[in-house]
Each structure stands twice: as structure tokens, then as C-alpha cells.
Amino acid sequence: MDESMIDWWTMSVGLFGGLALFLYGMEQMATALKAAAGERMKDILARLTTNRFMGALTGAFVTAVINSSSITTVLVVGFISAGLLSLSQSVGIIMGANIGSTVTAQLIAFQLDNMALLMIGFGFVLLVAIKREAARHYGGMIMGLGLVFLGMTLMSEAMAPLRDYEPFLDFMATLRNPVLAILIAALFTGLIQSSAATMGIAIVMASQGFMDLETGIALAFGANIGTCVTAMLASIGKPREAVRAALVHVIFNIAGVLVWFGFIGHLAEWVQLISPTRPDLTGQARLAAEVPRQIANAHTLFNIANTLLFIGLTSQLARLVEWLVPDKPEGEEAFIVRPRYLDEELLTTPSLALDRVRLEILHMGDSVREMMQSIMPAILGGNRQTLREIELMDNDVDSLHAEIVSYLGKISRQSLTEHQTRELMSLLAAANDLENIGDLIETNLVVLGRERIDQGVSVSEPTREVLLNFHRAVSRALGTALQAVAQNNEIAARTVTAMKSEISAIADSAAAHEARRLVAEEPKRIPAYTLEIDIIEKLQRIYYFAKRMAKTVEADTQAENA
């Protein structure tokens, strides 16, 4: 075909417009899927098994549902950080994520172009006309899938004139060099950060008869390498566990491509045996009819084979990654506290992001409990340096509180269900209550410790035991309240609120003890009495915040069950 016969403007508009619709449809479909399935994903992930084969199946299923292997990797990092999984146990899940990422290509290969407008229309009706949350999510998913097929149709139609354009056909011929095809696909996938999109475009080109199966397999290899860019970018600035999990992804994907690079022809033959054929067609028409499905099948078969090939080497791969990314020398970051569980990748799946906030509140609570554990011995007999160290601990609490509030603010900008909105407000209240406890210890109890030193007050042994007993009860309430928030545990929450009578009884007993001690023949009895009464009042205040955290959990779970 002569170059002058091609309307380059119309073709460019159709190609890029179709690509925009295709990518937007994928994003819409993924967002709706994550919103619809997020709650179920929490249940599945909570039951993660340490068996490597079940881990691979779990990783494949979760990635297929939420349509993002990078999110699956982020979730795995969270489990490693929480001590629920070792790196070795999580490798199988990361491997399985590659299998799950091939589901989108399988859907695209069905080429339901004639159903695209029907899907968009039906999905739109569910999205705007039905009030039920679940129906709206499914509507968004169906509409997104329709946009994917419509975008593919527009791209196919735009590229049709290139079937007889020699320079383009010559360029496609160069892609038969597998090294070049892998490099181009890896670069493109790294730029758009979506291997599914790369595979979708490859299938579109195959549907026009522009490429054979072996070229499509090379592009699939490149897409697998390119998706590692997303994982590595997501790990920048993250804890060691995140970097190691991303590196597992990179090594596994690159090693898989290297193993199969010399067997592209054999893989193509195996795929042709299991894929439908059209012997009634010839030439470009046959390629257009057969190759799209064959590319999708090759992508899936390649990733399944790689998982089976490497699943027995999870321990060795984990040790290699730990050697490549060693722990930082102890004390290198001793004075820096960072969020352990908050991750931007999960913001588009609010149910999972809110779960990570629960873990981060527990992380923040660990710092508050450390302050709580240290403060009473410091008040009763510590020195100024000990009190100063406890005071500085509140900087960690304040830092984590700011990060949690900021992250919750980002979640609030997502599309939330009524239940998720209640959950967000409950977590915000819990974070504020914890921060108030930290401030109370820093600004009130630490000051009381300094007053004891300044005034030369000595607390008697009987009084010391009374105060320590009260402190133990309040600390127990705080720990149980944290458990209630972290696990959304109504039983733990009720335990804290039920402690009100116990705390009141201990406080009354302590006050009666102080009244008896007031007339004791001891030096500085009045300053000692004032100090001890203030300690009791501040401990009661800490219990008040712990009880408020528990009541928030109770109210949230009751509203959920209503």
C-alpha cells in the first residue's frame, strides 16, 4: 500500500483513543473488582497457609481477583513484617501471583468485540440505577470489561490499513528476533506498569495477523520482566522486607525467562497442541484467528511451568535474597521510626488499606505500651535521664500518629461503603486516643517524676505497691484495648469496658490508702500525698482513653452486625 493512501491522523486518533479506552477500562474493571472482593480477600489472606503449594494457589487466586500482582506482593510484605510469614514461606505466594496475572489476558483473548457496547450499557445501568453497593461494583466491573473490548476494537480498526504497509510489516518482521521483542515488551511494560496491558496490545496486533505465536511468546517474556519495574519502584524507601519481596519477584521472573528463552519454539508447539485451530483458513487470516488465544495460553502455561519449576527452591531463593539485601547494622536506624504497614499501593482497595491501619495502630500502641511500662518505675525511683528517655519516646508516637492520620485521609478520598466509612472513623478515633495517652505520659507523668526528684520526695513501700498494682491494671486494660482495635475484637472490647468497676474499686482503695497515709509521721508527707494522688488521677485518665478505644470497637461491630 502507498503511504499517501493511509490517513495517518485518523489512524493515530483511533489507535491512541482505543488505547486510552482500553487502559481506562482495565483500571475501571480492577477498581470495581477490588471493591467487590476486598472483604473476601481479607478472609482468604487471614487463612494463608505456610504450605508452599497452597501459598502459590492463594497468590494466584488473590492476584486474579484484585488484578494486581504488585498489591499481592505488598500484602505479603505486611504478613512478613507482622511475623505471620517468613520470607521463605511467602515466596510461593509471590510465584503464584504471576499465574493470577495471566487471567486478564485470557479474558481479552475471547475477543468479544460485538458484546462491548452491550457490556458497557448493562454495566452502566447497574452502576447508576441500582442502589445496592454490590450491584454497583459488579456494574463497574462489567462496564470496565466492555471498555476494554471497545478499546481493542478501535485499535484493531485503526491498524487495519497497516496490513499492506511494507515498512510496518518490515518492523513487525524484526520482532521475530526474540531478544528485540523481549526488550521492547519489557520497556513498554515498565513504562505503563501493566503486563496485562502489554499482553492486551499484543493480542490486538495478533488479531490483525501481524505476528506469529513465537513473537507473541517473546513479548510475553518481556512483559514478565517489565512488570518487575513496578515491584521495584513500589519497594523504594520501604523496609528491608519489602525490598526482599520485590527482589524475589525480579529474580523469579528473569530466571524464568532465561530458562525458557532457548525453548520458545518448543513452547509454541506445546501451546498449539492445546489451543483451538482454524485449518479452514490460510495466511494472515489464520494467524488472526488462532494466535490471540495461543498467546494468552502461552502466557498462562509459561507462568504455571515456572512456578512448578521453582516452587521447590523457595528456601534457597529466600536465602539468596537475604544475602543480597542483608539487615542493616543494629542501631543504624535506632532513632528513626517509620510506618511499618502503611502502603500507597493498597489505597485503591480500602478494605485492605484499613486492615493495614489496624496493624499500624498496633505498632504505634507498642511504643505507647513501652512508655507505659517504663513510666511507673521512673516516677517512683528513676533519675532525670530515665524520665528524659521516656519523654523522647513520645516523638515516635507522634510521628506514627501523623502518618496514620495522613494515610486515613488518603483512604477517605476513595469510594467507601458506609461500613468502611464507620471503620475509618473508628480507627481515627483509636489513633487519637493512643496519641492522647502518649501525651499524657509525656506531659503529666514525666513531670510528676521530676517533681518527685526536685522536692526530694520518697514514696513508701506500701504506697509503692498500691500504685504499681493500679498501674498493672491500667496497663492490662490498654493492652486489651489495643487487641480489640487491631483485631476488631468485640469480646476484647467488652473486657476493657467491663474493667470499669475493677478500676474504680482499685482507685477508691488507693485513695483510701492515701487518706490514711496523710497523717503518717513522715517527712514531706503533704508533697508526697499530692504526688501520689496526681499519679492515681492520671492513671484513671489513661484508663478512660483505653475504655473509649474499646467502646468505639463495640459500637462499630454492633453497627456492622445490625
For Cα atoms 95, 99, 102, give the angle at the middle one, nearest 5 degrees: 145
User: What pLDDT does residue 474 have?
Assistant: 94
User: What pLDDT does residue 56 have?
Assistant: 86
Q: Which of 399, 539, 559 is nearest to 490 (CA)?
A: 559
Give CA–CA dist 417/502, Å, rounded. 38
**What is the DSSP-derived secondary structure letter of residue 338?**
-
Give CA–CA dist 158/10, Å, rounded. 8
User: What pLDDT does residue 49 have?
Assistant: 57
- Backbone Cα Rg of the chain: 30
**Burial class of 43 by CB neighbour count within 10 A (0 to 12, 13 to 18, 19+):** exposed
User: What pLDDT does residue 4 have?
Assistant: 53
Give CA–CA dist 396/367, Å, rounded. 7
CATH class of this structure's domain 346-561: mainly alpha
The separation between CA 323 and the C-alpha centre of its own chain, rounded to angstroms, equals: 25
Measure Cα distances from 263 to 174, 213, 267, 345, 517 in Å. Answer: 19, 13, 6, 35, 88
User: What pLDDT does residue 333 have?
Assistant: 46
- The model carries a pTM of 0.74
The domain spans of the chain are 8-324, 346-561
User: What pLDDT does residue 522 have?
Assistant: 62
Residue type at position 126: L
pLDDT by residue, tens only, the chain of 562 residues: 455 567 778 888 888 898 888 888 888 887 777 776 666 666 665 565 557 788 888 888 888 877 777 677 777 776 776 666 778 878 888 888 889 888 888 888 887 778 889 999 999 998 888 878 778 888 988 998 899 889 888 888 888 787 777 777 777 778 889 999 999 999 988 887 778 888 888 888 888 888 889 999 999 999 989 888 777 776 776 677 778 888 888 899 999 999 999 999 999 999 999 988 888 877 778 888 889 999 999 999 999 999 999 998 888 998 899 898 887 665 444 456 788 888 887 887 888 889 889 989 999 999 999 999 999 999 988 899 999 999 999 999 999 999 999 999 999 998 888 888 999 999 999 999 999 999 999 989 999 989 888 888 887 888 888 889 999 999 999 999 999 998 888 899 999 999 999 999 988 888 887 777 665 566 666 777 788 888 889 999 999 999 999 998 888 777 766 5
Q: Which of 296, 12, 5, 294 is nearest to 154 (CA)?
A: 12
Q: Which of 284, 245, 291 is nearest to 268 (CA)?
A: 291
Residue type at position 520: A
Q: Are 52 and 91 in contact (CB under 8 A)?
A: yes
Q: Are 292 and 206 in contact (CB under 8 A)?
A: yes
Instruction: Tell me how long the chain is.
Output: 562
User: What pLDDT does residue 176 have?
Assistant: 85
Q: Are 212 and 172 in contact (CB under 8 A)?
A: no
Q: Are 70 and 36 in contact (CB under 8 A)?
A: no
**What is the DSSP-derived secondary structure letter of residue 276?**
-
Give CA–CA dist 111/148, Å, rounded. 10
